């Protein structure tokens, strides 16, 4: 008997629970967080990763930026190589040429100055690219974490 009364009560109450006309539910629009603006200045700093035909550890130090041009030093296995390049902020791509061998590593017989291109990640924390020199094409990647 109690069950029948409960079912009947819920039925009668449901007649009054209907949504009033003109009342709508709230909706939320979630905007994605704005992407950081990546500029040539975003390249300035120390980047660590791997480089070249043997994917050895490397450090890229970009210490000077002038407009969309940048300048720095690649260090790998005791070698120190100067480079200079240009950044395109619209595409987040960059190109740079190794310009001078400052020092070879103790166990190196030579270095071929390469031409390199790459892309900086949307968050400005990772560089990925490839290059070519007299020995062929190679890949590299570095981050500033």
CA dihedral for 124, 125, 128, 133, sign (positive or negative): positive
- pLDDT of 78-136, one tens digit each? 999 999 999 999 999 999 999 999 999 888 889 999 999 999 999 999 999 999 999 99
Instruction: Give me the residues paired with residue 104 across strands.
Output: none
pLDDT at 69: 97
Record the tokens describing residue 93, joined without a space: 């791509």
Record the tokens describing residue 124, joined without a space: 């400005």
Instruction: Give me the residues paired with residue 130 across strands.
Output: 117, 139
Provide the pLDDT confidence category of residue 13 given band limits of 50, 70 and 90.
very low
CA dihedral for 89, 92, 93, 96, sign (positive or negative): positive
Record the tokens describing residue 24, joined without a space: 């709508």
């Amino acid at each position: 008997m109690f069950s029948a009364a409960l079912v009947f009560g819920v039925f009668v109450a449901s007649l009054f629970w209907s949504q009033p006309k003109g009342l709508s539910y709230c909706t939320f629009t979630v905007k994605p967080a704005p992407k950081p603006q990546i500029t040539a200045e975003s390249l300035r700093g120390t980047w660590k990763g791997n480089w070249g035909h043997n994917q050895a550890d490397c450090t890229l130090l970009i210490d000077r930026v002038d407009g969309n041009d940048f300048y720095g030093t690649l260090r790998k296995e005791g070698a120190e190589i100067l480079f200079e390049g240009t950044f395109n902020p619209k595409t987040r791509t960059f190109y740079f040429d190794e310009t001078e061998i400052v020092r070879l590593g103790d166990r190196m017989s030579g270095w071929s100055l390469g031409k390199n291109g790459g892309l900086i990640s949307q968050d400005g924390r990772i560089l990925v690219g490839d290059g070519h020199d007299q020995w062929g094409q190679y890949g590299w990647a570095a981050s500033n974490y």
